[in-house]
Amino acid sequence: MREITWSTAVNEAIAEEMRNDKTIILMGEDVAEAGTPISEPGFVGMAVGAAMTGTRPIVDLMFGDFIFLVMDQLANQAAKQHYMSGGKLNVPMVIRTNMGATRRSAAQHSQSLQAIVAHIPGVKVLMPSTPYEVKGLLKAAIRDDNPVVIFEDKLSYQMKGMVPEEEYIIPLGQANILQAGNDITLVATSSMVQVCEEAAEVLRSKNISAEIIDVRSIVPLDEQTIVDSVKKTSRVIVVDEGHQSYGITSEIVSRISEQAFYYLDAPPTRMGAMDVPIPFSPVLEDLTVPTSKQVVAKAIDLINNNF
């Protein structure tokens, strides 16, 4: 094990896979040389065609907000080819992009759009939380025969973490229990994992034992790990940086309600970003996303039956 940054982990994953598989290609703005034309629909369109004819493209979208520009290629072409061809065609393509507010990038470059992509049948969606996670998940995504979109938090690229020197893969659809607990379950994605870890520390000082689950993979979703934890603790908060309405948190809470309703001692609770465009003002922007302080307050309310 050695400590490396998120960026290094990503570079290692891509380099290792490209050395092992000559069909892997990388494309995107300023890949290899600055000055590449800004044409996200072009990159993804080429990647879909290339994937259908024997390569494994990795496309780098500079901002997750540009997902809207490639939606036809992603939703109508990549996601549907396997089904429309009766299983004869695959689109083994990876789109790397980012997400997250509190980065001072304003309304058009700060969105967390994972729920929109997760709504498309045929596309897998990943949300790593650490350098270890991003390397293992990215390698698995590159080897997968389906289109995969991996969302990386903008502030994570200089994050450092312990990563094995030897090769490893994190299977898609396998959540990670970061911390065992008995009083409440905190289910989190991406940078909200760190928010929940901070909250759990505070809760521990108040003699509240929180179990933390890093979802890792939104599609496919490891329902069993989440449901089993909620059955044990009887209380749950689901935290994601996407907008709260119609989002990832709503979907996970719905599945908990369907499968663990009679085990709950409090309403399953969701926490997401405010339903507003991300402000440019730093003071206002910081108010839009969940914080560890808010998670602590909500957890105490649920423990004390204040709902």
Between CA 305 and CA 297 the distance in angstroms is 12
pLDDT at 91: 98
The whole model's pTM is what?
A: 0.96
Q: How far apart are CA 85 and CA 71, in angstroms?
A: 20
Q: Among the options 16, 109, 198, 223, which is catalytic?
A: 109
**pLDDT at position 32 over 90:** no
**What single DSSP character describes residue 175?**
-
Per-residue burial over 48-75, b if 16 or more Cβ lie within 10 Å, else e, is bebbbeebbbbbbbebbbbbebbeebbb
Cβ-contact 237, 299 below 8 angstroms: yes
Beta bridge partners of 2: 163
In tens, the pLDDT along 68-109 reads 999 999 999 999 999 999 999 999 999 999 999 988 899 999
Question: Beta partners for 233?
Answer: none
Residue 278 per-residue DSSP state: P
pLDDT of 81: 97
Cα 234 to Cα 177, 181, 210, 225, 231: the distances in Å are 16, 11, 11, 14, 5
- SS3 state at 259: helix
Residue 109 is among the residues annotated as catalytic for this protein: yes
Percentage above 90 pLDDT, the chain: 94
Structural domains of the chain ordered from first start: 2-163 (3.40.50.970), 176-303 (3.40.50.920)
Is residue 132 within 8 Å of 168, Cβ to Cβ? Answer: no
The catalytic residue among 17, 40, 133, 241 is 40
Task: Tell me the pLDDT band of 31, cut-offs 50, 70 and 90.
Answer: confident
CB-based contact 165:12 (threshold 8 Å): no
In tens, the pLDDT along 159-176 reads: 999 999 999 999 999 999
pLDDT score, position 37: 84
Which residue, 212, 163, 197, 185, is CA-closest to 268?
185
DSSP letters spanning 219-253:
ETT-HHHHHHHHHHHS-EEEEEEEESTTSHHHHHH
For 250: left if phi > 0, alpha if psi spans -120 to 50, otherwise beta; the answer is alpha
What would the two tokens of residue 205 be?
């000082």
Cα 294 from chain centroid? 21
Tell me whether residue 119 is one of the annotated catalytic residues: no
Residue 150, pLDDT above cutoff 90: yes
Whole-angstrom distance, CA of residue 94 vs CA of residue 87: 19
CB of 52 closer than 8 Å to CB of 95: no
34-38, 43-47, 233-237, range with the lowest pLDDT: 34-38
Residues of the chain with pLDDT > 70, as a percent, come to: 100
Tokens coding 123: 């596309």
- Average predicted confidence (pLDDT) for the chain: 96
Name which of 122, 110, 58 is nearest 85 in CA terms: 122
Convert the pLDDT of each residue in 189-217 to its tens digit.
999 999 999 999 999 999 999 999 999 99
CA-wise closest residue to 96 among 16, 174, 27, 32: 27
Any idea how long the chain is? 307
Residue 126: pLDDT band by 50, 70, 90 thresholds?
very high
